[in-house]
Each structure stands twice: as structure tokens, then as C-alpha cells.
Amino acid sequence: MPAVAGSSPAEPSRDCPLCPRLHDFIAEWRHREPAWHNAPVPTFLPPEGRESVRLLVVGLAPGLRGANRTGRPFTGDFAGDLLYRTLKTFGLARGLFEARPDDSLELVGTAITNAVRCVPPENKPVGAEIATCRSFLIPTIESFPRLEAIVTLGAIAHQSTVRALGHRVAALPFVHGAVHETAGATLFPSYHCSRYNTNTGRLTEEMFVGVFARVAEHLAR
């Protein structure tokens, strides 16, 4: 089974009430699909735990039939295929990714989380929900003592991460392929690896791999 964070300030409770719209949406899907995870999706950790994490990947939010169903970030929908394939290419994951939480996939020195932990209707969290869930993103980032790099997938995840680090968004703008040095971890923004972005050509696999090539170079220093 994948390593996930336990009960801590970095993880919302299963019935987190802080965002009423998201809480009600999940309640609806618990009724419709009782076998699904249907709860905040915890951070995916390597077997060695938080102390081994040097890279954090921050996505937007769980997909309805992806992580909201399976309980593991980027598992069960298209985005995970590209993300985990790329992580394996650079030795940041190992094992076989079979798009289910009981496969043999393990992360290596890497953790994966979302800026918003609960699935939002139409995959679109509102500003208040993003801000509220930052109360979990901040301690998540702070829980990794060896963190050196953060890949932010999409503008919303990037902006929330910048704010979580205490910086101004204008000072560290979202630009795919940019490298933003900070006093803590270095930021590597990327377009989100969604099916929409890859189908429209906004993000090619070569572009996505290029971001992680720069991350791997940074971690090798």
C-alpha cells in the first residue's frame, strides 16, 4: 500500500467541514458511490517518510473519478499516467503504476499533494476554498525538513504554493518552465498534466519531461 500522511495538522479530517460546498459535494458522492474514497485525499509519501522528501509535487485538486475515487493523488485518471511515467524516468518513483492505490508504485524522495484536498464540482475550486485549504498546504510544506524543490502543476497550485511560502504572487509568477529560487525550496512551475492540456497541445510530453529534467539537475547538485 502507498505511504500516506497520518493524522496531523497537515491533513484534514475525513469529514472536514471547512468548505461547505466541497463537504456537501462529497456527501452526495458518498451516497452515489459508497465504495469510493470520497474524502480529502492525503499526501502521497515515499516509504521512507517525510524526512526523505526532497521534491514536492503540488497539483490542483483530486479528480472526481481519479483521486476522489481511489484515495491517492493522480491515481485513476489520465494525468497520473504522464506524471508517474515521468517520475519513474528520473528515478523519483519505482514499481508498476496500475492506476490503483494497491499497485506496486512507490515514490523515491518525492511527495505529492494537492492545493485543495477535496474534489470540487466541475474540477473548479473557488478562491475561498483554495485559501482555506492552504491551512493544510503550509504545514505540509513545513513538514519536509530536506525539501529542495517544488513542482507546481497549473497556475492555481502555483499561486497557492507561493502564498504558502510567504511570497507575493507577482514576484514569482506562473510561467511554464520557469525556475524561481527562494530562500527555501526552488519552484518549478508547469502546466498541469491534464488530458485537456495535452490534447490541445498546451502541454506536450517533451515540455513536461523538460521541467523534471531541470528538477533532477537541481537535485543532483
State the pLDDT at residue 183. 86
**Could you tell me the three cell numbers for 25?**
459535494
Show the beta-strand stretches assigned E in 69-185.
93-94, 106-107, 110-114, 149-153
**How distant, in Å, are the alpha carbons of 23, 157, 158, 160 from that of 3?**
25, 22, 24, 24
Question: What three-state secondary structure class fits 150?
Answer: strand
pLDDT (tens digit, 9 = 90+) per residue, 178-200? 999 998 899 999 999 999 999 99
Return the higher-pLDDT residue of 7 and 24. 24
Residues in CB range of 67: below 8 A, 6 or more apart = 37, 41, 73, 74, 75, 76, 77, 114, 119
Torsion of the alpha carbons at 163, 175, 122 and 115, rounded to the nearest 10: -30
Residues in CB range of 140: below 8 A, 6 or more apart = 5, 10, 11, 43, 56, 113
State the pLDDT at residue 135. 97
Question: What gap in Å lies between CA 3 and CA 24, rounded to an integer?
Answer: 28
pLDDT (tens digit, 9 = 90+) per residue, 49-105? 999 999 999 999 999 999 999 999 999 988 999 999 999 999 999 999 999 999 999
* Predicted structure pTM score: 0.95
Residue 166 has pLDDT above 80, yes or no: yes
Residue 1 has pLDDT above 70, yes or no: no
Distance, CA of 117 to chain centre: 9
Backbone torsions φ then ψ of 55, nearest 5 degrees: -125, 130
pLDDT (tens digit, 9 = 90+) per residue, 123-159? 999 999 999 999 999 999 999 999 999 999 999 999 9
